[in-house]
Amino acid sequence: MRRMIAEDHKGSATGDLDGLQLSTSLASVFNPLSTITEAYRQLRARLLLSNGGGTRLVLVTSASMGEGKSVTAANLAIVFAQAGHRTLLLDADLRRPKVATMFGMNGASGLSDILAGRTEYSTDRIRTGIDNLYVLPSGEPEAYSAEMLSSKKFRQFVALLREEFEVIIMDSPPTRAVADPIMLSSISDGVLFVTRAGITKETELKESLDSLQSVGANVVGLVLNGFDLSMAYGYRYKYKDYREYSQYSRKGYYTYTD
């Protein structure tokens, strides 16, 4: 991803789309023919086939910060929209949100404001310049996000969103940081877990997946970011513990690279 941004955007963090400044990490918008975007399309296809096609609300999380979950959630939502699905990208990370910045929506009201009664929900306010894609940012940061996301009001709101959208991609905080994603998994059809080669430790991965599965979360896949294909063939093999991911592959998780 970083290489693509450096080559296609001269290292710029943002790019112009019809007057909107979007993050250049949104490869599905700025480079639809890239191998990165194709990887997101393959991920979309797998999700559509999982649970007999019943995976409509996908929670995206990771063990720790910096593993690429928000970028994965955003690009995944975009490719769903590009395929004609009425799609909502919902930022449920009420502590350290990233979605608003990626879509040039900094300062916009969002989920926390709706739940706190500071603003009314309206689809007109969350339209984007991308056909079929709607983005609801997190809104004002909340210290009591766990209480807000476990409230009856939030569950009722999600039920309303399910009626309006074919697909909901929900970004969340890392599992090892707060309890929020564990609670959010209970209202999701599937959980997509994001890791990064050379960053995510096996113990962190196992701890996080065990936490999700202990509450009955339906973990539908594991995404491996930042994996250099040359490592798979023994060239300059730096990530010595990559083989330890194989135990999760045997359980039916799948990986892709960016």
Q: Which of 84, 184, 173, 194 is nearest to 132 (CA)?
A: 84
Question: Within 13 Å of residue 55, how many CA atoms lie on the same side as its CB?
Answer: 25
The yes-or-no verdict on residue 244 having pLDDT over 80 is no
Structural domains in the chain, sorted by start = 32-249 (3.40.50.300)
- Ramachandran area for residue 195 (φ above 0: left; ψ -120 to 50: alpha; else beta): beta
pLDDT above 90 covers a percentage of the chain that reads: 58
Confidence of residue 83 (pLDDT cuts 50, 70, 90): very high
Question: How much is the average pLDDT of 78-92?
Answer: 97
Looking at residue 201, what is its pLDDT?
A: 87
The yes-or-no verdict on residue 162 having pLDDT over 50 is yes
Looking at residue 118, what is its pLDDT?
A: 94
Confidence of residue 195 (pLDDT cuts 50, 70, 90): very high
What's the sign of the alpha-carbon dihedral 241, 243, 248, 254? positive
Q: Give the integer Cα–Cα distance in Å for 160 and 150.
A: 16
pLDDT one-digit tens code per residue, 146-161: 899 999 999 999 999 9
Looking at residue 253, what is its pLDDT?
A: 39
- Yes or no: say if 57 and 189 are a contact pair by the CB < 8 Å rule: yes
Q: Any residues with CB less than 8 A from the CB of 124 and at least 6 apart, and which?
A: none
Residue written as tokens 């330890």? 244
Q: Any residues with CB less than 8 A from the CB of 37 and at least 6 apart, and which?
A: 27, 28, 31, 75, 79
Confidence of residue 51 (pLDDT cuts 50, 70, 90): confident
> Which of 23-27, 49-53, 57-61, 128-132 is predicted most confidently?
57-61
Confidence of residue 2 (pLDDT cuts 50, 70, 90): low
Looking at residue 129, what is its pLDDT?
A: 87
Confidence of residue 252 (pLDDT cuts 50, 70, 90): very low
Confidence of residue 31 (pLDDT cuts 50, 70, 90): confident
Q: What is the mean pLDDT of the chain?
A: 83
Question: How much is the average pLDDT of 195-221?
Answer: 90
Q: Give the integer Cα–Cα distance in Å for 223 and 195.
A: 6
Looking at residue 1, what is its pLDDT?
A: 54
The structure tokens listed for 99 are 């979605």
Confidence of residue 139 (pLDDT cuts 50, 70, 90): very high
Question: How much is the average pLDDT of 107-136?
Answer: 94
Note if the pTM is more than 0.75: yes
> Minimum mean pLDDT among 70-84, 154-168, 182-196, 222-236: which range?
222-236
Q: Give the integer Cα–Cα distance in Å for 156 and 183.
A: 15
Looking at residue 194, what is its pLDDT?
A: 94
The torsion angle over the Cα atoms of residues 204, 98, 133 and 105, rounded to 10 degrees, is: 170
